Amino acid sequence: MKRTAISFFFLALILVIAGCEKDNYDEPTSFLKGNLVYNGNPIGVRSNALQLELWQPGYDLYSKIPVYIDQDGSYSARVFDGDYKLVRLSGGPYESNSDSIDVTVSGTTTLDVPVVPFFVITGESFSYSGGVVSSSCNVSQVSTQSVNVDNVTLFLGTNKLLDHRYFEERHILGSPDISQPVNHSITLPADMADRDYVFVRIGVKTQGVNEYLYTQVQKLEL
């Protein structure tokens, strides 16, 4: 009986050691990073709302690596060196593209990911006077698909994380005439007017698409 107990003890010890060796793989030390870009310029999106996927063929465990996009359009993923396929998922404020992108990661590798937005915002400007934040911008359709603007919105907040879910004030223009500059104004509430600055950005939403395309967040001195 004693010999049996000792045998079970050593068997359990071997299994524990084997399990530890299995778990003690080195962590990945390489990085794949870059931006979602249109014409070489990063596009603004909602933080962590959109994903890319990385796939590494040739391994038994062939599973995706989700890569989330920050609000400035940047992404970063820690991975092992090797060959990957990068996939752009649908659902963003840009045309769907099912073509994968081949990328070889070695150390820190930079790869900008091109997309074609439905609409882009250019020439944005922001100003503050007499308790009112004003903005102006141009909105242009760049997609060849048949799409329409749902709204163009000025978002305002005291936090740099700013989008259609995280904001404190906003001004919505539904179906604006984008052949002309699009203008907004927001009268600040007293608690915000007493601050030294606020954060601002403009977003354009395409009809039938949940996500906005945004300008980059800017800090506006009051």
The per-residue pLDDT for range 12-64, each reduced to its tens digit, is: 444 445 554 445 568 888 999 999 999 999 999 999 999 999 998 876 656 78
* Average pLDDT rounded to a whole number, residues 142-153: 98
* Chain-centroid distance, C-alpha 45: 5
Quick check: 5 pLDDT over 80?
no
Helix (H, G, I), strand (E, B) or coil at 6: helix
Domain with CATH 2.60.40.2060 in the chain: 119-221
Write out the DSSP string of 88-121: EPS-SSB------EEEEE-SEEE--EE--BSEEE
Which pLDDT band holds residue 65 (cuts at 50, 70, 90)? very high
pLDDT bracket for residue 111 (50, 70, 90)? very high
Pick 30-114's CATH classification: 3.90.700.10, 2.60.40.1120, 2.60.40.420, 2.60.40.10.
2.60.40.1120
- In single-letter form, the type of residue at position 158 comes to T
The segment(s) of the chain belonging to CATH 2.60.40.1120 are 30-114
Percentage of the chain exceeding pLDDT 70:
86
pLDDT for the residue 26 = 80
Which DSSP symbol is given to 63?
Answer: -
pLDDT, mean over the chain: 91
CA separation for the pair 136, 120 (Å, rounded): 14
Q: Tell me which CATH code domain 119-221 carries.
A: 2.60.40.2060
- pLDDT digits 0-9 by tens, 183-206: 999 999 999 999 999 999 999 999
Q: Which of 202, 122, 211 is nearest to 170 (CA)?
A: 202
Which residue reads 């081949």 in tokens? 102
Q: What percentage of the chain has pLDDT greater than the value 90?
A: 82
Are the C-beta atoms of 93 and 117 separated by less than 8 Å?
A: yes
